[in-house]
Chains A and B, each alone.
Chain A
């Protein structure tokens, strides 16, 4: 299984500023995924981060707004740039890894709860 930690756990930010969220995994993984969960909504994939290459963004998400770094196989960062109140969400980091039950499972970090004023 994979244990994922995220920093910060929550933050309140002013519009127009940027916040960088860190994701640390306790094992090496090829791909890391960033999701957004808007208030009362489901999860939406923002991008896939591979070590050593540019992140792949889903429709509706762009690199200028959500730049991602992946410097090694256990760490990634997501920056939310030039924030507006519409960016208020929970941001979750995820990896796919072999679970204790013997098959691949998706593991999620505890999330970063962002409020933009």
Chain B
């Protein structure tokens, strides 16, 4: 099956800093989504981005499908950005809605 690798595994920032999280995938995908899991375990969908660039406030994401990677940018980080960021992909013709997750990036933002 498809492999999804995220880097870095851990990231520690001071409030106000910027960061870039990366997601590499081993095969073509139908869609790619970025999620944030807060310290209470709730998963929030940040972006649905199989290709191109999207922005939502301080967050933006870019997926280069031909080169099989996606980047999540966090600018002016805040303590509430702490948590785990997952990249997840859907691939194959019969895997509608079935996601393969990367191992995640654990982000800690200090005040």
Contacts and interface: CB of A to CB of B under 8 A. Distances in A.
Contacts of B86: 42-43
B45 A42 contact: no
A104 B31 CA distance: 10
Interface secondary structure of A, over-half rule: strand
Contact of A106 (B97, B102, B103): B97
B38 to A, nearest CB: 10
Contacts, number: 52
A48 B98 contact: yes
B53 to A, nearest CB: 14
A104 B45 CA distance: 11
B45 A99 contact: yes
B50 to A, nearest CB: 10
Task: Name the interface size band of chain B.
Answer: 10 to 19
Task: Name the interface size band of chain A.
Answer: 20 to 34
Nearest to A10: B41
A99 B48 contact: yes
Name which of B41, B86, B97 has the most chain A CB atoms within 10 A of its CB. Answer: B97
16 contacts: A31-B97, A42-B86, A42-B101, A42-B103, A43-B101, A45-B98, A90-B41, A94-B99, A95-B97, A96-B96, A99-B45, A101-B48, A107-B45, A108-B42, A108-B43, A110-B42
